[in-house]
Structure 1
């Protein structure tokens, strides 16, 4: 099963995916994306992302290695076909941590994919999360916030919208969605 978790920047999608993997290590795995952006403090190549140069990224695009790719906030991100195929062959539920455009591209290729949009409880809460993360300067935060109207508009195309107010409640809701879809298969 393919489960796509998407949210505005700072909405909690990476934390949610990591927690789901921690809670269900024998059932779920994350599809590690490739990116041209620099690693943030604590991020590990091959675990959080495959950090690659822009020329290497476009060579992989040319070879058809990506299921989808997008330019987001000045950097490229993409889902590697080989990663997803390997995890599916091993019987895992594959989680994707991608932006809204990446999510919709995955749904177009895999109509059976379950799309879950994570919505922050408020714009103020989102701003606070972005500031607390301390990885972006104020200008970058504003750039990320300017994408909100587009992201919220596209979230209407998702199968589910979950408000991420309390992490534990959010996780339970997503686990329930995944369990429901697993039963239908």
Structure 2
């Protein structure tokens, strides 16, 4: 019996001993535990309509909202991206977005970069999530107005297709507004 298992047995039997038990049963020897794995428990879902606000699944994009992704066709160095979310609806909207752990902690635009001629995903790199601050950005877009989100990407020289979208909330309803992909040559 190892010291660790002896201490565990003593701790588990302590109430029995302190209650004045006359004899304690002999415990079988325990093998040491190696390569243990933590147990992760999924949090309970928050019901839609609760005070927290954003439902877990994106809903249909509200009529009148669109996104446009722009980038230079050819660039040397970092690739500047701009995503404009335009409100052509009849009422003002409130946009909200959080930092994304899989996107180098960017708020928006969220992107996927593919090498031209293949389906190889260059960004985001699988298995490299970050732990980001849980900042939440909110913006208002009045009738006919737009909100612009910008970020830069570091890409190796080559030809790429960049897909972009806004993922967050519009008036407290979860949405994903996709834009047309853009082609970029990095020199």
What is the TM-score normalised by the length of structure 2?
A: 0.20
Higher helix residue share? 1
Greater RCO (CA < 8 Å, at least 6 residues apart): 1
Higher strand residue share? 2
